[in-house]
Amino acid sequence: MNAPEQLFYDKKGIRVTDRAVTVHSDSYPLSKIIRVEIEAEEPTSGERLKPLLMIVAGVLLLILVIGIFLIILGAKWWFSLQPYYWVLITTQTSRSRLSRFTSAESAEELRSALTSAITRNRTYN
């Protein structure tokens, strides 16, 4: 008789047990995972284009008072764009992005849970 699964993580459609990680409907057995890592993805040039256009419009409208407002608003928007953090797993046959996070801490929480589950899986199975 098999022991019940031990739960390590269960948030936003991602579930990590001592046997597998499930992301929505995709399941990955822990015994097949070779490596778990976090990858940072900076905002794309397309995401930075809109605030840049706002800054340029502000410069062009600098004659009017509204130009200063647009420059300030565009600069705040530009600097508020943050990177995304992906949790990746590597198996013998593939490398997969499990989930995207807006904070490094959330990505680290999942990475840590996966690492703990994999360690337990290899120790007790």
The residues, any chain, with a CB within 8 Å of residue 43's CB and separated by 6 or more, are 81, 82, 83
Q: In what order do the strands lie in the sheet with 7-11?
A: 7-11, 14-17, 20-23, 26-29
> What is the value of pTM for the model shown?
0.69
pLDDT tens column, 14-55 = 999 989 999 988 899 998 999 999 999 888 888 888 888 887
Total domains in the chain come to 2
Dihedral sign, CA of 109, 34, 121, 13?
Answer: positive
Q: Quick check: is 1 in a domain?
A: no
Assess whether 73 and 99 both reside in one domain: no
* 3-class secondary-structure state, position 90: strand
What pLDDT, in 10s, does the model give residues 75-120?
888 888 889 999 999 988 889 888 899 899 999 999 999 999 988 8
Distance (Å) of CA 84 to CA 6, 24, 41: 29, 19, 5
Same-domain pairing of 87 and 115: yes
Whether 24 and 57 map to the same domain: the answer is: no
The CB-based long-range contact list for 28-32 (8 Å cut-off, 24+ gap) reads 28/89, 28/91, 28/96, 30/114, 30/117, 30/118, 30/121, 30/122, 31/121, 31/122, 31/125, 32/91, 32/92
Segments forming the whole domain that contains residue 76: 45-80
Residue 63 binned pLDDT confidence (cut-offs 50, 70, 90): low
Q: How far apart are CA 31 and CA 100, in angstroms?
A: 23
Residues 90 and 36 placed together within one structural domain of the fold: yes
What pLDDT, in 10s, does the model give residues 70-86? 788 888 888 888 899 99
Q: Which CATH number is 98's domain given? A: 2.30.29.30
